Amino acid sequence: KVFQKEREPHVYLSKEEVKEKIQSYNSSVTDKLKMTLNANGIYTGFIKVQMELCRPITVQSSQSQGMCAPSNQETAFYLPEGCVNTLHISSTNTVREVIEALLKKFFVADNPAKFALYKCCHKEDQVYMCKLSDREHPLYLRLVAGPKTEMLSFVLREHETGEVMWEAFSIPELQNFLRILDKEENDQLQILKNRYAAYKGKLEEALRGVLKPG
């Protein structure tokens, strides 16, 4: 994938231009996720966001969801690879609001500032990724690109900082990360022990065959 920093300038469309684009968009939709233009000029529609998170996310337990007071009943886990979420948003919703809505949908307790939304498109057999600013409007980008994900797709990732800013995480989050790493280390160690035990067993069996008196 090729990462881009430059962004295409936002072109402000008239209400009639928006209406024409929405009609064209809806005529090309194959999954019934159409856009709707309201009388006030605001339009609504759907975007799909692929979750590509490398670090574990902190999720509120079912007992703490919906409670105003902070709860210690949280757990951290890795989101399954290739997870895609569909959001119904409006043309006024910003990237920051989309990120917050995604995290709320998964009951993620992590700070939204840790995440960034990227747009991904294919050009001449290359995949280009560009981080969107917090003030950009994803549904506008979806409308301009059309419904085909080959032309444009959205990806949620952690911020590309080069290094993990561990000081941005809370103590419970860091403790959860340590527990996950300890479990992964023990799992890998057990796999390695089992592999060498099986190899040792085969060697001992072969050795008994060679030393068996004829």
| Position 37 in a domain | yes
pLDDT tens for each residue of 16-60: 999 999 999 999 998 889 999 999 999 999 999 999 888 788 887
For the chain, how far is it from start to end, CA to CA, in angstroms?
Answer: 63
Q: Which residues of the chain have pLDDT under 50?
A: 2, 6, 63-71, 163
- Structural domain for 178, as ranges: 167-211
Residues 174 and 206 in one domain: yes
| Position 127 in a domain | yes
Residues 120 and 174 in one domain: no
| Position 111 in a domain | yes
What is the reported pTM?
0.66
Beta-strand runs (E) in 17-123: 36-37, 43-51, 57-60, 74-77, 83-90, 115-123
Residues 119 and 202 in one domain: no
- Last residue within a domain, chosen from 142, 163, 184: 163
Q: How many domains does the chain have?
A: 2
Residues 102 and 189 in one domain: no
